[in-house]
Amino acid sequence: GWLSLPVVGLTALFTGGALVMQIYAGGARFNAEAVVPQIVAIGMVRELGPVLVGLMVAARVTAAIAAEIATMKVTEQIDALITLSADPIRFLVAPRVLAGVLTVPVLVAVGDTVGIMGGYAMATGTLGFNPAAYLRNTVSFLEATDIASSLAKGAAFGYVATLMGCYHGMNAGRGARGVGRATKGAVEAAAVLILAVNFLLTGV
């Protein structure tokens, strides 16, 4: 989680800035530029923040977990655990999944905050928004349910990302090719499932 902060922060920062420019350009067609802070806040907190963090975790953490566990299987370390009457699921899978469920919501909170501040910097520095008014509109528009939804999505995405890494690692084929296929399959499955789970949670 800690080592994922730089990539999450940079992704959220640039996304927040780009989001402000796009919403401002679209709102200018309807003389609705004033709603930029509110739309950026709701977009980052409810959708873009959790999804982008989830995909970054899938790209970075899921791949690492799948490669690590697949390598352990290829080198027969998992067989050794079974021989020693140690449950691989309890020893290898459960701690990683629990870590994902606990840390990804924290990353989402950081990503949401950095994304909103990136939008704030772009809006006040380039587009001429009043800094105090921008922050006031952002804070007054967000509700507790928005934040809770964002954190809940983060926990779900953390579960999916780590579970896919563990599943594909545990079911990897033999040799270097098996490790590569397991890593690729884990990232692909995690990314698609994160988007699908996001759709379902948004509907709920």
pTM of the model: 0.88
- Mean pLDDT, residues 31-40 taken together: 81
Amino acid at 5: L
- Check residue 198 and give its pLDDT: 94
Half-sphere exposure of 44 (CA within 13 A, CB side): 35
- Quick one: CA torsion of 103, 3, 57, 17, rounded to 10 degrees? 100
Q: Break the chain into its structural domains and give their ranges.
A: 2-203
- Per residue in 53-68, pLDDT tens? 999 999 999 999 999 9
Most confident of 122-136, 150-164, 167-181: 150-164
- Check residue 91 and give its pLDDT: 87
Query: In the predicted model, is pLDDT for residue 142 greater than 90?
Result: no
Report the SS3 class of residue 84. Answer: coil
